[in-house]
Amino acid sequence: MADGNNPDFLSVNTLKGDKVVNRAGEDIGKIEELMIDLQDGRVGYAVLSFGGFLGMSDKFFAIPWQALQLRVHEHAFLLDIPKETLENAEGFDKGNWPLTTREGLSGTYTYYGCQPYWQSGVAGQTGRVSGKVEPERESRMESTAASEGPEFLSASTIKGDKIISSTGEDIGKIDELMIDLENGRVAYAAVSHGGYLGVGSKLFAIPWQALQLKVHEHAFVLDISKETLDKEEGFDKDNWPLTRERLSRTYTNYGYEPYWQIVAAEQPEVSTGKIKQAGVSAGVIRKTETKRTEVVETDEEIRVRQERERLEGLRGTQEEKLSQLEKQQMEKEKQAKAERERLAQLERERIEAERQAEAERERLAQLESELQEARRQEETERVTRLENELKEVQTQEEIRRDRLVQLERECTEARKQAEVEREELAQLESERTEVERRADVERERLAQLERERTEVERRVEAAGKKIPDFLSANTIKTDRVVNTAGEDLGRIDELMIDLDNGRVAYAVLSFGGFMGMSDKLFAIPWNFLTYREHEHAFTLDIPRDVLESAEGFDKNTWPLTREELSDTYTYYGYQPYWQRELAERAGTPGGTESEMMTRAERKRREQLKTAEEIMAQQDKERIEKQEATETDKEKKERLERERVVAERREHKYQ
């Protein structure tokens, strides 16, 4: 009884790659492909790879399914054909599959002593319950027969073709073909249907008789209504129908009689169909041009245009690098091809060396026979000569054995080099993908700048070119940050809000990295940033070397407390705003409110100056002590940089 361990059906993907052995258990080759008869769904022939070196077959052979006996638990087929018969057969190469019609395949069946299945009187039965071919399907078969094209297609070609209804509605696609192991027929096509964008779809077992190929569309018309298909339960990829008993119910639900139950079905009067392969139309590259209205450029437009031109130049550089990588890839492929040719040459030399060694062994055997005869005749001189010749032959044989071992080593080395070339090709492909990704990022950035320019123009026009008092966080995010010299330092990635008083605790500056992909983030006090009107930019009043020496953070270690942020404010020489607020609250009463605010501000500045000087002096003294005892060169250089920063903070208030 058929079950999961002894199935009635196996998928094409499972059968492909199975090895083929003869009666003696010798490995002959492996199954490369199954060719399907489009008229009745039989396996017209299996494509066997045979010959070659190191698994690289130099010949393909068409083998009738009847000549193969499957050994399920060995993942192998038994081919009861002498090896000499296979060697003398007319094969074909991978790029030239000549057997695409029954007429052409008939000679191959005869050569291997098999009767063509289409001459046995059972081919072509449709299996409808009524036992008759429907007029509509009969007309489709006749129109297919009238077209010129192959009568066989490979299973790999059929897999992936879409399934449509009789009205042209898209239903799904063919995911797999299941082969009946007893008679070599397509038991059913596994069609994926349902879900959304391919997600959540199910597989359905569709009888081959219910499918009709659309010649020029790489599609099959399903002779089953979509409503009937939706009522079926379907199955997933872990629960394939593998027995005739289970599949029988599916056939019945679709209105088809299982093909294995047809004993005396009437032969349909239709001629053999020939089907043209649908040509794949080349994609048409559309070119569009947009016209820009000439207007007087504002400063903002000039800056945006210059930035766009810079990005376009960078994109051109990336495209040039991509072209160079593609050239390198082509060169590597040429080298890999040369290595394969060299490997084939070494294989031919090895075969020639083995042939010569075989000839020498035969000569050695002959000399040994002559030597024995000479000894029997007591011809001492001849025996001596023959012994010398024997030693010479043995020496030559040893040399050839060494040469054979050397050739084997060279073959192994060539295979290693070929593997290295493949890895280099994969690396180049990875680099090309990365360059393309970065180019896409730059294009998106260019588009974003264009949108920002348009938005700025719109806002300037709407606001009468007035500077706003407020801006949204989304507007500020991604704005450029430049120093007083106009050098680009980075962009604002985020604004962090103090939950206690709603103030901007700090702006997150992305600084460093490559092509806008920052490798560090920095917390910048809001007071150090000055808005540049109409430029989508801020000026940062911090020297570049101070910023480069600062300790940044990554996106997983943001400063989230005032205690963590306090060191950052101190490093940049600025008192945290929450400490200033405490000082303002502690001011003495008296006088008018304006006088109180003036005194508090003056006192705060004096306190800030004193506190900052003390902290800077303490940091300087601490660093000088560490420098005096430190011996590591790198640590001393880091301490020297910190000391320079501390001196700059100290001098700020002198």
Q: Give the model confidence (pLDDT) of 493-505 as tens digits.
A: 899 999 888 899 9
Q: How far, CA to CA in Å, does 629 sit from each of 237, 613, 634?
A: 69, 25, 14
Residue tagged 């997933």 (tokens): 236
Q: Name the residue with higher pLDDT: 189 or 591.
A: 189
From the CA atom positions of the chain, what is the Rg in Å?
41
pTM across the whole model: 0.42
Does domain 304-463 fall into CATH 1.10.287?
A: yes
- pLDDT reading at 598 higher than 60: no
Angle between helices 633-651 and 593-629 (to 10 degrees): 160
In the predicted model, what is the mean pLDDT of residues 90-113?
Answer: 84
Q: Which of 315-319, 351-355, 624-628, 634-638 has the lowest mean pLDDT?
A: 315-319
> What pLDDT does residue 420 have?
92
Q: Residue 461 has what pLDDT? A: 67
Q: What is the pLDDT of residues 530-579, one digit of tens each?
A: 888 777 889 988 888 888 888 888 888 888 898 888 888 888 888 888 88
Domain with CATH 2.30.30.240 in the chain: 10-119, 135-261
**Strands 27-37 vs 43-50: parallel, antiparallel or unpaired:** antiparallel
Assign 263 a pLDDT band (cuts: 50, 70, 90). Answer: very low
Residue 172: in which H helix or E strand, if any?
strand 170-180
Task: Please give the Cα distance from 386 to 269 (Å, whole number).
Answer: 79
**% of residues, the chain, pLDDT over 70:** 79
CA distances from 575 to 103, 543, 565, 566 (A): 94, 18, 11, 8
- How far is the C-alpha of 70 from the C-alpha of 21, rounded, in Å? 10
pLDDT band at 199 (very low <50, low <70, confident <90, very high): low
The per-residue pLDDT of the chain, averaged, comes to 79
pLDDT, residue 394, reads 92
Band (pLDDT 50/70/90 cuts) for residue 466 is low
Whats the size of the chain, residue-wise? 654
Indicate the DSSP class of residue 56: B
Sheet with strand 529-532: strands edge to edge: 520-524, 504-511, 488-497, 480-482, 537-540, 529-532
Answer yes or no: CATH 3.30.365.10 is held by domain 10-119: no
Predicted pLDDT at 215: 73
Q: Which of 294-298, 301-305, 441-445, 459-463 has the lowest mean pLDDT?
A: 294-298
What is the C-alpha separation between 115 and 118, in angstroms, rounded?
9
- What is d(CA 230, CA 315) in angstroms, rounded to the nearest whole number? 50
Is the pLDDT score of 145 beyond 50? no
Q: Count of H helices and E strands in the chain?
A: 15, 20
Calculate mean pLDDT across residues 17-36.
91
Q: Residue 588 in 3-state DSSP?
A: coil
- Evaluate if residue 16 carries a pLDDT over 90: yes
Q: Which fold has domain 135-261?
A: SH3 type barrels. (2.30.30)
**Alpha-carbon span 156 to 530, nearest angstrom:** 65
**What pLDDT is attached to residue 55?**
47
Phi and psi, residue 191, nearest 5°: -105, 125
Helix axes 299-376, 380-463, angle to 10 degrees: 170
**And the tokens for 198?**
């391919």
pLDDT of residue 270: 34
pLDDT tens digits, one per residue of 154-193: 999 999 999 999 898 999 999 999 999 999 999 999 999 8
Q: How many CA atoms lie within 13 A of 66 on its CB side?
A: 11
144 vs 276: which has the higher pLDDT: 144
Compute the average pLDDT of residues 202-221.
90
Q: State the Cα–Cα distance between residues 399 and 419, nearest whole angstrom.
A: 30
* C-alpha distances out from residue 493 to 304, 368, 473, 498, 565, Å: 20, 90, 10, 17, 17
For CATH 1.10.287, list the domain ranges present in the chain: 304-463
